[in-house]
């Protein structure tokens, strides 16, 4: 019998997204930590809180970059 994955249930074989700290995110974007926190506070960058740590999932970082590119080209 084939193991099916009904829509909405997590896929056991799927890897969790890579998570970056605020410092790692600032290094990847080549901006200051302050600028990363500004993006977070303006709700342009989604984060995951684990305890006191804020982590940024790679797909959310990619989405931010794409939205900034679209914003730049729409001017």
Domain boundaries, the chain: 19-73
What backbone phi and psi angles, to 5 degrees, belong to 20? -115, 145
Tens digit of each residue's pLDDT (9 = 90 or more) over 47-58:
999 999 999 999
- Of residues 13 and 51, which shows the higher confidence score? 51
Indicate the pLDDT class of residue 6, thresholds 50, 70 and 90.
low
Burial class (CB in 10 A: 0-12, 13-18, 19+), 53: exposed
Q: Which CATH class is domain 19-73?
A: mainly alpha
Q: Which two tokens stand for residue 44?
A: 């342009």
The pLDDT score that the predictor gives to residue 9 is 62
46 contacts 62 by C-beta, under 8 angstroms: no
Burial class (CB in 10 A: 0-12, 13-18, 19+), 39: buried
- The answer, yes or no, to whether residue 14 has pLDDT greater than 80, is yes
Tens digit of each residue's pLDDT (9 = 90 or more) over 24-41:
999 999 999 999 999 999
């Amino acid at each position: 019998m084939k193991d099916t994955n009904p829509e909405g249930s997590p896929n056991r074989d799927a890897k969790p997204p890579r998570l970056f700290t605020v410092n790692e995110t600032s290094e990847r974007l080549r901006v200051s930590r302050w600028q990363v926190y500004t993006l977070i506070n303006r709700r342009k960058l989604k984060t995951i809180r684990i305890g006191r740590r804020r982590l940024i999932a790679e797909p959310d970082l990619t989405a931010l970059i794409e939205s900034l590119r679209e914003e730049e080209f729409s001017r």
